[in-house]
Amino acid sequence: MASKLLASTLRRTLTKATASSTTTHHLSTAVTAAPAFDSFEDDQNGITMKGVKIAGRPLYLDMQATTPVDPRVLDAMLPFLLSRYGNAHSRTHLFGWESDLAVETARSQISELIGASPKEIIFTSGATESNNISIKGVMHFYKDKKRHVITTQTEHKCVLDSCRHLQQEGFEITYLPVRSDGIVDLDELRAAIRPDTGLISVMAVNNEIGVIQPMEEIGEICKEFKIPFHTDAAQALGKIPIDVEKWNVSLMSLSGHKIYGPKGIGALYMRRRPRIRVEPLINGGGQERGIRSGTLATPLIVGFGSACEIAKKEMDYDHKRVMALTDRLLNGIREKIDGVVINGSMERRYAGNLNLSFAYVEGESLLMGLKEVAVSSGSACTSASLEPSYVLRALGVDEDMAHTSIRFGVGRFTTEAEIDRAIELTVNQVVKLREMSPLYEMVKEGIDIKQIQWSQH
């Protein structure tokens, strides 16, 4: 359906254009857009971009950064981009009515995936905005009585930065450490609670190492002390079962593009009973109960809802398949090279996130050598930094090992052939770099390099 609509629209557009011009047009929208990037060159010898030349498009194993849009999601979105383009807030004609109905349908699809009521779903631009509303909004609303927030050192950057923003306003923040497996210590969490604690924020599934926090246990502690519980569930949605009642969360941040939906759309779950209140960050027309004003992006919302509906139906199948592929990747690498360390808990983790450190290898060199595999060394929001991952440092990982970490993200559309190719390329590059490493040579000779006293010149 999607391909037929696109082809029909493109044919009509290109026919009109060629009637008045003899310029050659590409039938592919991707090819048409490509020349707009001056730094991009695509020829028979390969692709060159940002000074890097590769044989072709790399295989994609960075599913924690973003996921491809499921074709079924695109099919659901297209009518609202081409013909049903009404404003969902227009109450006087059919275009507005059908868009409003589509928005409310998506609201129900999202709420069903997390065990909530559709009335508890607020649409936002993404999980970053939802996190900001949750943390700043709650504390600003209750600022006269509550001045303290508890979070962890391994949260997403937007949570940590929101907390730092509150610190500048005079609020106090406790950044809890985590154990070496990435899991928060519940006794330390309980001990950190104060009479003026207004919010506890803990990420459900970590974006860098994939560990799953004990959400039900944290929720019980929050319920015992009557403290609102917020979680960034962007990496959990559609991948592990979520029940807002069992978790006892008051606020939950969600994202569309992490579950094969479109970018630029997210949601915030806000509990109604007991009611949680926030101060809006955006003022305007009062949409979304006044919490998030602005015209709703109907096509994106429809896509988000469709992605949630698909995830609900296929979660078990996806989980088993992703787990098998991740095991294949890990075993394939470990069978051929030593010194491979898994970062984070193996017992409590999402299967599609495999964060590995390779001993005696320089991380940036490894990443650059893996040009044919799209992977990252940590969060996409901080991957431009050459500093070692703050998440791995919080786990107590040595700086040299933190520098060598690679995050492999396996997803719904990953194939066995891609996994096997990733194994081959990774092993070859690690072996190549170790051959150039004097440290690795010393280790093979039985020298304990940690006992060496290095002199400075």
Q: How far are the Cα atoms of 10, 395, 453 from residue 456, in angstroms, in the given order?
A: 65, 29, 10
Residue owning tokens 């937007």: 158
List all residues 6 or more positions away from 275 whose beta carbon is below 8 Å from its beta carbon: none
Tokens describing residue 430: 């690690």
260 closest CA partner among 297, 221, 304: 304
CA angle 9, 13, 17 (to 5 degrees): 165
Residues 6+ apart with CB under 8 A from 117: 111, 272
Extended strands (E) in 202-352: 229-232, 251-255, 266-270, 340-342
3-state class of 114 per DSSP? helix
Q: What is the distance between the alpha carbons of residues 149 and 193, in angstroms, rounded to a whole number?
A: 9
Cis ω on the peptide bond leading into residue 388 (within 30° of 0)?
no
Would you say 119 and 109 are in contact if contact means Cβ atoms under 8 Å apart? no
Contact assessment for residue 109 and residue 123, using Cβ atoms and an 8 Å cutoff: no
Cβ neighbors of 452 (< 8 A, separation 6 or more) are: none
| H or E element in which residue 152 lies | strand 148-152
282 near 294, Cβ under 8 Å? Answer: yes
d(CA 154, CA 178) in angstroms, rounded, equals: 8
Question: Rounded to an integer, what distance in angstroms lies between the CA atom of residue 158 and that of residue 305?
Answer: 24
The answer to whether 411 and 351 are in contact (CB under 8 A) is: no
**Side-chain half-sphere exposure of 352, counting CA atoms within 13 A:** 32
Active centre residues (catalytic):
381
Give the three-state DSSP class for 312: helix
